[in-house]
Amino acid sequence: MAKTIDDAIIIGGGHNGLVCAFYLARAGLKVRILERRGLVGGAAVTEEFHPGFRNSVASYTVSLLNPKVIADMKLAHHGLRILERPISNFLPQEDGRYLKLGGGLDRTRAEFRRA
């Protein structure tokens, strides 16, 4: 097996590991990421959870991703598209009623009045 020399080894290819690897590599370091799964992304990974339906299977909102990281990594160029959710939570009740929360305080208040 050929001998390779890495400047940095990152254990785990979740989004923090990937972002670290990007900045280290951009600074000229030779970086290796070791990911135990067959795909990278960690808890922010998109997977097909049912034939034809893809979604992030754990993390579901983009809340703290720094816009500088998005720009530096040219994520929009690589296909990142952030979609606004019309509602934040759908809460079904046992009696068949439901609450659709989010979309602003007025809309949430109206939903409680309706239910």
Sole residue written with tokens 């990278």: 40
In whole angstroms, what is the distance from residue 9 CA to residue 25 CA? Answer: 11
- Cα separation values, 19 from 4, 11, 83, 88, 105, Å: 22, 13, 21, 27, 35
Q: Is 36 in the site for ligand FAD (CB under 6 A)?
A: yes
> 42 or 103, CB closer to ligand FAD?
42
- Name the minimum Å distance from CB 40 to ligand FAD: 6
* C-beta closer to ligand FAD: residue 35 or 111: 35
Does 108 engage in binding with ligand FAD (CB under 6 A)? no
Which one of residues 34, 71, 76, 101 is an interface residue with ligand FAD (CB under 6 A)? 34
- 82's enclosing H/E stretch is none
Of residues 42 through 101, those in contact with ligand FAD by CB under 6 A are 42-44, 58-61, 63-64
Strand locations in the chain (E)? 8-11, 31-34, 46-50, 53-56, 89-92, 98-101
Specify the stretch interacting with ligand FAD by CB under 6 A; choose among 8-16, 22-30, 76-84, 105-113: 8-16
